[in-house]
Homo-oligomer: A and B are copies of this chain.
Amino acid sequence: MQSKDTNRAQSTMGNIFSNLDWRNYIVYIAFIGIIIYFAVTIGDQGFLTVNNLLNIARQTAMIALMALAMTFVISSGEIDLSVGSVTALASLTGALAIQAGYGVIGGLAAGLGTGVIIGLVNGLLVTRLAIPSFLVTLASMEAVRGMAMWITDTAPVTIVNPTFNYIFGAGDIGPIPILLVWLLVFVVFAHILYRKTPFGRQVLATGGNENAAKFSGVNTKKIKLLVFIGTGFMAGLAGLLYAGRMNAGRFSFGEGDELSVIAAVILGGTSLFGGTGTIIGTLVGALMMGTINNGLIIMGLDVSQQMIISGIIIVLAVAFGKKQKKA
């Protein structure tokens, strides 16, 4: 809402892309800039190898998957801080189900079910009791992490099912990591859902102006409930992927992911105030953060230096992208 008036004077582009405002492009420009920078400086140190680029994709997949769902939540004007904790609990319930002999399907059901239930609870608290989602999901972030610690008393649960580990994380199809396949499938799905379906439109309308959406017959409560179930589901999936990638469920998975996920979404050009956004931007936002982390490690910097520089890069990238556009 804040920006409603700021670009009045700018001419609209008068074409189908007019609803992507400039901010959505920053991330693409910045991403390319960063890749080029690393390619030049550390290309010879392994950054440009196919394997390393696939590494980036693998490392980013979970954040990106959650960020896809988060794009819907944020577009609807809400926020979900619980995703990181949900990955942990889902990795454990999934692993326990497999350990108990329910196989891949059982593990899948347990992990996704965990996510969906938590999403449902979050959604109901937000829509029925009208508690701000920041509070609801902050509370569930804490409670769910507690459950993840409690369920096995912080012990990791090993997954010895090779099929599971193959499908959820460690496997490759030809040269392509399965994680990348998961990611691409969901990106396409999310993009269509976001841009092309009534549901996506209703999400945007709800976030753009909840009352107006209601007056157009949009069941905004249902929409909000669904977007929370969406993040729950995707966090559940991300938890299974963590588990598959590391052959174990663990209570500490996903700690701090909520901020990375939200950052990817905002970096991608989605407004924290709801109503506008893009899925592809989100994907690129996530990839960009993953690339920065990877590149700085390959550069051989200290952790402290990595942190300082990655913070600065993010701001510079956005600032630079902005300048480009103005010129």
Q: Which of A's residues lie within 8 Å of B, judged by CB? A: 1-2, 4-6, 77, 79, 81, 125, 129-132, 134-136, 138-150, 153-154, 207, 209-211, 259, 262-263, 266-267, 271-274, 302-312, 314-315, 318-319, 322
Contact = CB atoms under 8 A, between A and B. Distances in A.
Contacts of A147: 304, 308
A5 B304 CA distance: 46
A148 B308 CA distance: 10
A131 B272 CA distance: 12
Given A129-B322, A146-B304, 9 more contacts: A5-B211, A6-B211, A125-B315, A134-B263, A139-B312, A144-B311, A146-B306, A149-B304, A153-B304
Contact of A318 (B5, B131, B318): B131
A77 B4 CA distance: 12
Given A1-B273, A273-B273, A142 B267 contact: no
Contact of A129 (B6, B209, B319): B319
Given A149-B307, A210-B6, A319-B129, A138 B273 contact: no
B146 A311 contact: yes
